[in-house]
Amino acid sequence: MNAVAPCKFKASDYKSGTKPVWCPGCGDFHVFLGLIKAVAALGIRPEEIAVISGIGCSSRIPAYLNCYGFHGLHGRALPLATGLKVARPDLTVIAAGGDGDGFSIGGNHLIHACRRNVDLTYIVMDNEVYGMTKGQPSPTTAPDWDSKLAPGGSGIPPFHPLVVALASGANFVARAFSGDTKGTTKIVADAITHPGFSFVQILSPCVTFRPDQRNWKNKVHPAPVATTTDPAQAARRVMTDDGFNIGVLYKGSRESYAQTVEPNARSDRDLDEEFFV
């Protein structure tokens, strides 16, 4: 993304004015900022963007945007977004949600969305907790994190969503940090413009249930290596990094999901024809 987009829109053009329900201090405020700055910089008309989400704090985001949105079912943002984009390829479709929504109940859909490689962008605001339901471990929570539902910690290690995305065929994989608005804006803009399924994990601290994440701003750092086009290399890096590398980690060149055969226009009579004896 080198060229400067003509500034037809300001970031504020993408705000619906609805006041977010997020706790003051929530990282999602800055993710929101990064998202609207990105689409403003890209000059995409607000009515041609659809933001699709599941359930959770992060999934409330569509209502705060002056775009079309769908606040759908827990874990099901990706199939909603997929159906929409396949039926309406002219739209810019962005799926969004949290780590519980996306990696737990939505885990299966993540794998297949990566496989399918429909041209859309998936933003997961990862705060390593189920925030909306008041603090349960999520698939990215450390095994020793104490909570009411899992006293003493779940004992189950987190998984590597970026590695799974790479193994499943995602065409663009990145990690960002909500406190780095400039970096997030660039990464999101890159993700949107890159064809195919773009997956961005944005570390976004939960001020209410994970106050320990206040020090994330000191732990994040730009990835020490350049973006790779080799998914296996990217997977190894992500699987062995400290979890705080930010940047575009992988850019692939898969073709976006499309029909594999040309349509063969048939008339209504043709359809009937096959049934005549």
Partner 1 sequence: MTAQAGSKDSFSVALFGKGGAGVVTAGEMLLAAAAQCGLYGLIIRAVGPQIRGGEAAALVRLGKVPVDCLDDRFDLLLGIGWKHAERLLPEISIDADSVVVTDPAQESVPESVLVSGAEIRELNMKELAETVSGGRANMVALGYVAALAGIPQDAIFQAIEKKLGHKGRDAVDISVEAAMLGFSKAEDLAPAEVADSGAKERWMISGNHATGLGALRGGIRFAAAYPITPATEVLEWLAPRLHDAGGTLSQAEDELASINMAIGASFGGVPSLTATSGPGLSLMIEGLGLAVCAEVPVVVVNVMRAGPSTGIPTKPEQSDFNAAIYGMHGDAPHIVVAPNSVSDCVYTTQWAVHLAEAMQVPVIVLSDQFLGQANVIADPIPAISFFTKRKLAEEVADDFERYAVTADGVSPMPIPGTPGGQYTADGLEHSRKATPSGTAADHTAQLDKRAGKIDSFDYGQHWAEIEGSGELAIVTWGSTTSMVREAMQRLPDKISENLKLIALRLLLPARPNEMAAALDGTKRVMVIEQNHTGQLYRFLRAWYDLPADVDTLHRPGPSVFRPGEIATKIEAWCSE
Partner 2 sequence: MNKSTENYSQHFTLAELLVHALVIELEAVQSYIDLTDQMRESGNDDVADLFEKMSKLEAEHADKIREKAGDMELPELAPWEFRWSGLEPPENIDLAGVHYLMTPHQALSLALENELSAMSFFDAIAHDCTDKRVRELAKEFADDERQHVAWMKDWLAKYPEPDADWDYDPDPPAAID
* Rounded distance between C-alpha atoms, residue 29 and residue 204, angstroms: 9
CB closer to partner 2, 127 vs 168: 127
147 binds partner 1 (CB under 8 A): no
CB closer to partner 1, 77 vs 220: 77
Helix, strand or coil for residue 168? helix
> How far lies 49's CA from each of 192, 211, 229, in Å?
11, 33, 28
248 and 172 in contact (C-beta within 8 Å)?
yes
Among residues 56, 69, 131, 158, which is the contact residue for partner 1, using CB under 8 A? 69
The tokens for 232 are 């296996």
Query: Minimum CB separation from partner 2 for residue 33, in Å?
Result: 8
* Rounded distance between C-alpha atoms, residue 194 and residue 173, angstroms: 10
Query: Minimum CB separation from partner 1 for residue 168, in Å?
Result: 11
Which residue type sits at 2? N
50 makes contact, choosing from partner 1, partner 2, none, with CB < 5 to 8 Å by partner type, with partner 1
Which residue type sits at 240? T
Stretch near partner 2 under the rule CB under 8 A, chosen from 2-10, 121-129, 160-168, 251-259: 2-10
Among residues 45, 88, 134, 266, which is the contact residue for partner 2, using CB under 8 A? 134
Among residues 9, 14, 26, 93, which is the contact residue for partner 2, using CB under 8 A? 26
161 binds partner 2 (CB under 8 A): no
CB closer to partner 2, 8 vs 45: 8
* Rounded distance between C-alpha atoms, residue 23 and residue 20, angstroms: 8
Among left, alpha and beta (phi > 0; psi -120 to 50; other), residue 110 is alpha
Which residue type sits at 186? K
Residues 41-80 that bind partner 2 (CB under 8 A): 41, 55-57, 59-60
Please choose, from the candidates 140, 201, 204, 139, the residue with its C-alpha nearest in 3D space to the C-alpha of residue 170.
201
Binding site for partner 2 (CB under 8 A): 1, 4-7, 11-12, 19-21, 23-27, 29-30, 37-38, 41, 55-57, 59-60, 132-134, 177-183, 185-186, 189, 205, 207-209, 214, 217-218, 221-222
